[in-house]
Structure formats: C-alpha cells, structure tokens
C-alpha cells in the first residue's frame, strides 16, 4: 500500500551527520508516539483547558488521551495506519489535540493547517498530501466547512457535526512501531512560491526540536496561555508536545483577544510568555493593562517575525526578561539567547547556535544552517533540490551578520516574504491576484514596518494609462473571491509611474520598502 513516504523524494541526510547526531544523543529511536505515550502516562491528572466563547472545554490529559486513543481506534478500523496522512484544519480546541495525538499513536503523518487559511490554500494542501483522513470545524468565525474541498478524502470528521461518530468504543493501546527516520509531520508555510510550501519533518527532527525548545524555556515561566495557532509548527509543538514532555498544564485560546488574556491573568493565574512581538505589545497597550498584569509578565520569548530593539528595550524597562530566538518551519530552532544571558545579547541579537546546530554565512551574507532539527525537505522535490546541498546545508533565504561573540543578527531577507504577526505571506501569491484587477499593468507586494505586527503587506501598483488606482475595498473583494486568507490581504496601496529597476529590469523591492517606510512615518 502506498504511503506518503513512498510517494515523495526527500533529501538524504549525510551519513557523517547521522552518526554525529546519534552519538550525541540528539537522534534516538524515539518516535512522536513514544514521546506522547510515556509523557501522558506520567501526567494523567495535569490540567487541559480551552478558553473559548464557542467551544470551551475543561479536563485532564487523561481525558484528552482517551478521546485520542478512541479516535485512533476508529481511524485504524477505517484503514488509516502508519505512513498515511491525516490532515486537520482546526482552531485551538481539544479536538485538535485528540487528532494530533491519535495520528502520532497510529504512526500517521499529521498535516496541521492554519485555521484561517482560505479554500485556495486548503485545496492545494489536500491535493499535495492526499490525506486518508481530514478534520475541520463545522464553523469558526468566518470559516465554514466546505465539503467540496475534501470529496476525495476517504475519512472526514467535522467538529460540531460528526466528529464523535469516528470514536471507537475500544481505545487503541500503545503506539505503532514506525521508522523514526520516516515523515511524522508536514507543516505548510508561505514562501516565495505561488502556493504554500509543505515542509516535511521526521520523528527524529520533531522529537529533537521538542526536547531542544523545552530546554530553552525558563523553568519558572508560569502557567502559559497559548493562543498561537496549532496549525503553525511552533504553536503545535508548544501546545501538544512540550506540555506532555514537561508535565505542565495546557491552557489554549482559539482567538487572540488581549482583554480576555488580561482577565485570565488575574482570574486564572495565567501568563503570556511571548511569541510574535504583537502578542506582548497588544497586551501592554490595552486599556485594561495594569501594573499587576505587567508584574505577571515575567518573560517574553520573542521570535517568528521581526523583533525591533525598541520593543525589547521597552519590555526590559518594565521588568520583563526578554530572550530571542531565530528559526523557521524548515529549521525551527537555529539560534537562541539564553533567558539568563547578558542584556545586550538578549535585547539586540538573535543569539548563538543551539546544541548540534551549525551556522555559516555565504559570501552575500545569506544564513546557511544544518542541525538535528532540520527538516527532510519539501513535498515539492524542486524546492528541496533548490534549498539543500549535498552536505546537508540549508539556504535560509535570510541575510545576517555575526558579532565577535558569535551572536547572530538577522538583518534582511533574500526571500520575497512578508512576516505579519508571525504569519508568512508570499509576495508572489498576492501579486498574481493583483494583476487580475482591471487596469493594473504591474504589481509588487512589499513589507512595511508595523509597530504591532512587525510587518504588513503593501501593494505597489503601476496602472495602465487612463485607469484609476483601485481602493482597498475593491482590492479586498478580489482577494476574497480568490479564496486567499485575510491575513495575506494588502493593507496599504501605493501607485507609481514606474518601478525602480535593476539593469536587467527586475523591480528593486528594497527601494520600494524604504520609500514606503519613509512616507508612512
């Protein structure tokens, strides 16, 4: 029977790196199912809560595990097994944990999809991965379940409709034995391509990342309120793996509402530990924020987007200990500043390479990395060939510099990507839609600085003679009709008579970025 692993060409990790990772203990035979099984056995009574207006839930790890094992039994009875793909587009709900844990117990390859992705992105992901099972919410916010997107998927479960029908009476026991080098997760992220990139992680890379990321966190970080979408790689690791490894409570939120977070800090004793800078700044800028709230914000681990020094200095001045990290879906944890490290390092650099990670700069300043948490490649073999070399080095598409202490500072991006509040936006994907607007001769999408989100997308248009520049309302209508996630819609429009260009005719986007940033001040 064909499985995902047998249908895609992934990179081969050089033998000397495999030997090094095994000798150091970074790579073992432990699978994601093994990690969950042992961790859940040790932490059965730990709290698991979902703070939601539409689907609240309160219980323990043991109760979620029972649902996951009953789901695993139900999926096994419907032909889902090791190496098969299970996709889910769910908010931060209990059922998302049940699907993820069930997939791990089965040895299946889980595909988390960001809950706000539109039909365009979802259709592409399902086509690229051909899942045996797909899980979605019947309705959440503006999203409504679209059965036409998954009419070729053998097993479909819709939370709020028929999810419980898939639960077997007898829960599955243990975890299926699978090759730890086999794919365990496919995380989709926007990049320079028209469609999301499917990043493939093995059990070994995912387990190592979980243990490595957990080790970088302060032990006294408190009870975390987790709102980063579990459809994102780091959101999923922080919500469903690290708490099981550490035996710490899970408190999920399905939307980011600063007022709700501030209330939970006082009413439930929760705290917010960082993420994209927007989470911290929107809390501090909210009218409900008081000195009592600030006192509960002990740490801010920042990453996933641009981290302005003005923000880190502000947090530190309030008594909040800042530490930073750099990584990506492909290579999740490249560098980190220790939470107890020198202030100059924590506030103004992206830190030093983590254990096992190697980093070097190409002649043009591009950051090249490799390490035990580096992915196996992409679902698209062309992207894999372009991003990795034969020695295992990954071309990040980011530009950086190293100081005399070996600390990395990310200074720019070669990749044509905007990072809005931690969400990647492919400029090319948005530009193609803009070119469909009447009268648009050329379009460029660039990042402009944003004090809350880090960056936002700006559309720069050259119009044909006699045509007026469209307004934001017309632009948004076109984006909606194209099925593009709202987070990717441009929030600013600028018109030019012509673009600044290189001698070969390419648009100089860095010049556009600088001009718009200056105009916006």
Asked if the structure places residue 326 within a domain, the reply is: no
In a domain, 59, yes or no: yes
Sequence-ordered list of residues with C-beta below 8 angstroms from that of 85, at least 6 positions apart, any chain: 4, 108, 109, 110, 111, 129, 130, 131, 132, 133, 186
* Residue 144 bridge partners (DSSP): 139
269 domain residue, yes or no:
no
Can you say how many angstroms the Cα of residue 111 is from the centroid of all Cα atoms in its chain? Answer: 12
**248: its two tokens:** 């710490």
Distance CA 161, CA 147 (A): 12
- For residue 406, being part of any structural domain is answered with no
Q: Which residues constitute the domain of residue 425? A: 417-519
Residue 461 within any structural domain of the chain: yes
146/136 Cα distance (integer angstroms): 9
Q: Where are the alpha helices (DSSP H) in 13-115?
A: 15-24, 32-42, 61-77, 94-106
Residue 184 maps to which CATH number?
A: 3.40.50.12780
287 contact partners, CB below 8 Å, separation of at least 6: none
Per-residue pLDDT of the chain (521 residues; tens, 9 = 90+): 456 666 777 999 999 999 999 999 999 999 999 999 999 999 999 999 999 999 999 999 999 999 999 999 999 999 999 999 999 999 999 999 999 999 999 999 999 999 888 899 999 999 999 999 999 999 998 889 999 999 999 999 999 999 999 999 999 999 999 999 999 999 998 765 668 899 999 999 999 999 999 999 999 999 999 999 999 998 999 999 999 999 999 999 999 999 999 999 999 999 999 887 778 888 998 999 999 999 999 999 988 666 777 788 889 999 999 999 999 999 999 999 999 999 999 999 999 999 999 999 999 889 999 999 999 999 999 999 999 999 999 999 888 899 999 999 987 776 778 888 878 888 878 887 888 889 888 888 988 888 788 889 999 998 888 999 999 999 999 999 989 888 899 999 999 988 887 554 567 787 888 888 777 55
Report H helices in 318-415.
343-348, 381-387
Q: What is the value of pTM for the model shown?
A: 0.84
Residue 199's φ and ψ, nearest 5 degrees, are: -95, 125
CATH number of the domain encompassing residue 493: 3.30.300.30
Residue 44 resides in a domain = yes
Closest by CA position to 198, among listed 372, 8, 335, 392: 8
Would 20 be classed as within a structural domain? Answer: no
The count of domains in the chain is 2
Domain assignment present for 267: no
Distance CA 382, CA 394 (A): 14
Q: Which of 192, 214, 246 is the last residue of a domain?
A: 246
């Amino acid at each position: 029977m064909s499985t995902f692993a047998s249908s895609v060409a992934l990179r081969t990790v050089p033998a000397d790196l495999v030997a090094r990772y095994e000798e150091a203990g970074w790579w073992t035979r432990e699978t994601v199912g093994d990690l969950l099984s042992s961790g859940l056995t040790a932490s059965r009574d730990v709290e698991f809560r979902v703070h939601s207006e539409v689907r609240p839930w309160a219980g323990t790890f043991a109760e979620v595990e029972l649902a996951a094992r009953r789901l695993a039994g139900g999926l096994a009875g419907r032909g889902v097994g090791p190496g098969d793909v299970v996709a889910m587009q769910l908010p931060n709900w209990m059922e998302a944990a049940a699907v993820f844990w069930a997939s791990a117990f089965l040895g299946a390859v889980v595909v988390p999809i960001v809950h706000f992705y539109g039909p365009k992105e979802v259709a592409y992901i399902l086509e690229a991965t051909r899942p045996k099972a797909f899980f979605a919410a019947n309705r959440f916010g503006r999203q409504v379940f679209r059965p036409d997107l998954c009419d070729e998927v053998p097993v479909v479960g819709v939370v709020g409709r028929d999810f419980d029908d898939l639960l077997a009476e007898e829960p599955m026991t243990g975890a299926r034995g699978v090759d730890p080098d086999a794919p365990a997760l496919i995380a989709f992220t926007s990049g320079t391509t028209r469609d999301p990139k499917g990043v493939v992680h093995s059990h070994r890379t995912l387990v190592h990342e979980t243990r490595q990321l957990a080790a970088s966190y302060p032990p006294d970080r408190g009870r975390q309120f987790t709102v980063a979408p579990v459809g994102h790689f780091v959101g999923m690791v922080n919500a469903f793996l690290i708490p099981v490894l550490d035996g710490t409570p899970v408190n999920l939120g399905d939307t980011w509402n600063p007022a709700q977070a501030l209330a939970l800090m006082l009413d439930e004793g929760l705290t917010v530990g960082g993420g994209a800078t927007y989470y911290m700044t929107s809390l501090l800028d909210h009218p409900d924020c008081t000195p009592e709230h600030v006192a509960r914000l002990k740490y801010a681990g920042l990453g996933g987007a641009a981290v302005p020094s003005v923000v880190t200095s502000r947090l530190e001045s309030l008594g909040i200990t800042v530490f930073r990290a750099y990584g990506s879906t492909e290579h999740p944890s490249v560098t980190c500043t220790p939470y107890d490290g020198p202030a100059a390092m924590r506030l103004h650099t992206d830190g030093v390479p983590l254990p096992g990670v190697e980093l070097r700069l190409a002649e043009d300043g591009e950051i090249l990395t490799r390490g035990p948490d580096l992915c196996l490649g992409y679902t698209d073999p062309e992207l894999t060939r372009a991003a990795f070399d034969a020695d295992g080095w990954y071309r990040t598409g980011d530009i950086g510099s190293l100081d005399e202490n070996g600390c990395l500072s990310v200074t720019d991006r070669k990749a044509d990507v905007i990072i809005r509040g931690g969400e990647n936006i492919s400029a090319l994907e948005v530009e193609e839609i803009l070119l469909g607007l009447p009268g648009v001769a050329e379009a460029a999408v660039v990042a402009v600085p944003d004090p809350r989100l880090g960056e936002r997308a700006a559309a720069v248009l050259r119009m044909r003679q006699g045509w007026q520049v469209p307004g934001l309302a017309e632009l948004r209508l076109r984006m909606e009709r194209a099925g593009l996630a709202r987070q990717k819609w441009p929030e600013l429009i600028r018109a030019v008579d012509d673009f600044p260009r290189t001698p070969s005719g390419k648009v100089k986007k860095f010049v556009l970025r600088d001009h718009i940033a200056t105009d916006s001040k």
